[in-house]
Amino acid sequence: MNQRFYRTISKVLGIAAIATMGFMSPAQAQSWPDKPIKLVIPFAAGGTTDIIGRILAQQMAPILGQNVVVENRGGAGGNIGAEAVARAPADGYTLLLASGSMLTVNPYMYKKMSINYAKDFTPISTLVSGPMIISVNPKLPVNNLNDLIALAKTRNLNFGSAGIGSQVHLAGENFITAAGINATHIPYKGENPALSDLIAGQIDFCACNVPASMGFIKGGQIKALAVTSAKRLAALPNIPTVAEASIPGFENVGWFALMAPSNTPKLITDKIYAAAIKAVKSEAMQKSLELNSLTPVLNTQKELEAQIVSESAKWEKVIKARNLSAN
């Protein structure tokens, strides 16, 4: 009798737990948020995704009336952090700040993934975009981009990135392909570790995002050769574009999008979207974006979905042409 009772209770509790994880009542969605929100940054602290995520969290908190807590979970080109969010309850309390490459490159780069970016997430908005900057260790005997290309044709150079398939990795691959050179890729669990090794002379160059690189450039710890944007940056007016310096028509811009677990109620994602838009438009975040040579995007969910489809097709061709693979 007791055993049967406990088995019945266990089944009921199990069903209730599953229902609670996968379903929110309209009242719960309406009252969201009533506790702190976690924003997962899928790369190491100090990189561009982390820089954007922390100022975003600071500005969203007062808008939502709850703390937005940043949690760094780096590794596997962002997949480790993404998996943590995909497996979280779809209740709006766990969000992901994804780099564009996670959504458009990783599905082709990683043959084995435990997540499906198209099915496991609800897109909210592309918040910001920005170029990379090709930088070298100051001891490398080059003064401009043409020097780097010439040196790469005489000896084997290597370049660092924020991880296999990251925007920084693909920017590097784009550059060496367009320049007609070879270089060995060295992946890290974020830009900051890569830049630390660039400063130490462990790697030769990096096509890292501007925000993560700026302080090291201004401090003379690394030497900037060219930016991957179509125009020069106001913050670094003396640094030419890649197109100006050596490769006409070259442009490579990265972007960062806010995502929620799939099946998050629309009432909640609408609230997240509104708060994110207001946060990015805030004076503090606008100043931070300008300082870091980033541009606000703020597209809609439908526009982000179209962006993912369009860029996925582009990167699939690059990955196949370069025969790139993470596993």
Task: Provide the CATH number for the domain around residue 96.
Answer: 3.40.190.150
Q: What percent of the chain has pLDDT over 70?
A: 92
What is the domain extent for residue 292?
Answer: 33-130+254-322
Q: What pLDDT score does 12 carry?
A: 37
What are the pLDDT digits (tens) for 195-222? 999 999 999 999 999 999 999 999 999 9
Sorted by sequence, the CB contacts under 8 Å of residue 176 that are 6+ apart come out as 152, 159, 182, 183
Q: How far apart are CA 189 and CA 73, in angstroms?
A: 9
Co-location of 163 and 98 in the same domain: no
Q: How many domains does the chain have?
A: 2
Note the pLDDT of residue 324: 87
Residue 311 lies in a domain: yes
Verify that 287 and 277 share a domain, yes or no. Answer: yes
Positions in the chain short of pLDDT 70:
1-24
Which token pair is 39? 């924003």
Give pLDDT tens digits for 168-202: 999 999 999 999 999 999 999 889 999 999 999 99
- Among candidate residues 185, 213, 245, the one where a domain is terminated: 245
Q: Are residues 75 and 105 in the same domain?
A: yes
3 within domain boundaries: no
Asked if 234 and 266 sit in the same domain, the reply is: no
Indicate if 88 and 124 belong to the same structural domain. Answer: yes
Give the phi and the psi of residue 179 in degrees, each rounded to 5. Answer: -85, -15
How large is the C-alpha radius of gyration of the chain?
22
Within 8 A by CB and 6+ apart from 285, the residues are 55, 56, 59, 279
From the list 28, 55, 49, 47, the residue with the least C-alpha distance to 276 is 55
From 228, 245, 262, the end of a domain falls on 245
